[in-house]
Structure 1
């Protein structure tokens, strides 16, 4: 009799055991499939950044990680739902937590969004000389939140990406050949052809100034006390600053040697003595 009762009690638990085992089995399958899909999606996104040279790997590694964890979040919800857990409240809680975190990290998320745009459109890359957010320097590092510049005097400048993306960006290294604009003024009494000849002689001797395209040397402005020349030699990008900071002194010395006056602002006062 007792054995019969025990068998009945066991039979009562069999459906629950089978149901629990089934749920565990399906949960394991969902988890394994979800992990496979999450890892696969992450690898596919990462591979996109690796296969295309113009795309930045940093951005696609980040997007791959985001995709992976979003998929894993849905997998976790599916597993909990399999065991009868009410996931609607969990989803609502996660949404509220995400909103709270987003409001608390508005500045950080703004930098993140700007970093994504910079890495996607790549207005500059590591090694370029840029002027942005009121700073100028050589780009040392670009990440999702900041851009790091190194100045000529070895300052280490960290700029939030939102400040760069929201302002004008000048990339001095974008083109291989650069024109270097310089301005020189001479006195009105000087012969402009002679002045042009002296300037061209300096430019011709410089080892880093290109012959093609030829330097541009022409009168730009007739000022109150000087005739101003615009001088634009062309060079490879890496020699831009060498020419910008060396040629003006060379031209000044050559103009002095040719006895060509470089005027400075002055006022001429003429006093006439009236006859008595």
Structure 2
């Protein structure tokens, strides 16, 4: 029994350090999460502070605290901070190769914050994936599609892809094409479209609405309408204008033709000769 007690006593410092390390990790994890939320809440109250920077700053604070907790835990087991720096310096090549993807995401996240290709709330298309920006942190960009599906994209991919930002400018141009029958009065149809544009308060008068004949199709004369509006009104204006055009064309006896197909039946040579 004494030998067992003595043997357990020899491992007592290690057991104590393990308990301390486990306790530090739990407390550090909770503190890091709490600190990140505090930073997010405090910065969110500052009106001039960009929400994109709020998310990035809170993520940075959280990960810094976790890094210090990790160093503190290692020191419990005899690793000194100077020794850790030396070890990390010697193993930097191996660590860089092993974590090159993660480190690339962090570097890309910093570049995205600096150059501001997009910010929170913007509707963007990144490399063919479209959605609204919900969050930008050290590693990933979170998006939500129009049907509210979550998309998680690594920052390195977002930085290296073509970004189309539909929310970057406050004003957008809405282009619509309408086909009319070849027998209809083109000038009358153009005036109907122009009157509809001038009657809608969402359409800007500078630049002024624009209507032109842009194509002579197989079964229709195509009229293109260009309208300038606030970016927030783009989709509602587009849907409403299409509906209003159909109603106005009907009221003015302007037809929207269906595609036509002409079938040519060729008789057999024998039948033709008999005829």
Given candidates 150, 175, 181, the residue that maps to 1:187 is 181
Alignment of 1:1-276 (within 5 A): 56=53, 62=60, 93-269=87-263
In structure 2, what is the equivalent of residue 28 of structure 1? none
Deviates more, 1:211-220 or 1:148-157: 148-157
Give the Å deviation of 1:201: 2.2
Give the Å deviation of 1:152: 2.4
Q: C-alpha offsets along residues 169-193 of structure 1, whole Å, 9 cap, x if unaligned? A: 1111111111111111112222211
Q: C-alpha offsets along residues 218-250 of structure 1, whole Å, 9 cap, x if unaligned? A: 111222222212211111111112112222122
Q: Distance in 1 between matches of 2:251 and 2:160?
A: 49
Contact 2:55 2:135 in 1 (8 A): no
SS in 2 for 1:180: strand
Q: Distance in 2 between matches of 1:53 and 1:123?
A: 17
Q: Distance in 1 between matches of 2:216 and 2:138?
A: 50
- Give me the CA root mean square deviation: 3.4
Give the Å deviation of 1:90: 6.7
Q: Distance in 1 between matches of 2:131 and 2:255?
A: 36
Q: Distance in 2 between matches of 1:123 and 1:91?
A: 35
Contact 1:226 1:263 in 2 (8 A): yes
Residues 270 and 193 (structure 1), Cα distance of their counterparts in 2 relative to 1, 3 Å cut: farther
Give the Å deviation of 1:120: 0.6
Residues 145 and 251 (structure 1), Cα distance of their counterparts in 2 relative to 1, 3 Å cut: same
Q: Distance in 2 between matches of 1:263 and 1:92?
A: 78
Residues 221 and 96 (structure 1), Cα distance of their counterparts in 2 relative to 1, 3 Å cut: farther
Contact 1:59 1:120 in 2 (8 A): no
> Where do 5+ consecutive residues of structure 2 fail to align?
1-45, 72-79, 267-271
TM-score by length of 2: 0.64
Q: Distance in 2 between matches of 1:271 and 1:234?
A: 49
Give the Å deviation of 1:91: 5.9
SS in 2 for 1:233: strand
Give the total of aligned pairs.
207
Residues 255 and 180 (structure 1), Cα distance of their counterparts in 2 relative to 1, 3 Å cut: same
Q: C-alpha offsets along residues 61-91 of structure 1, whole Å, 9 cap, x if unaligned? A: 849x98xx9xxx9xxxxxxxxxxx9x8x976
SS in 1 for 2:130: strand
> Where do 5+ consecutive residues of structure 1 fail to align?
1-49, 74-84
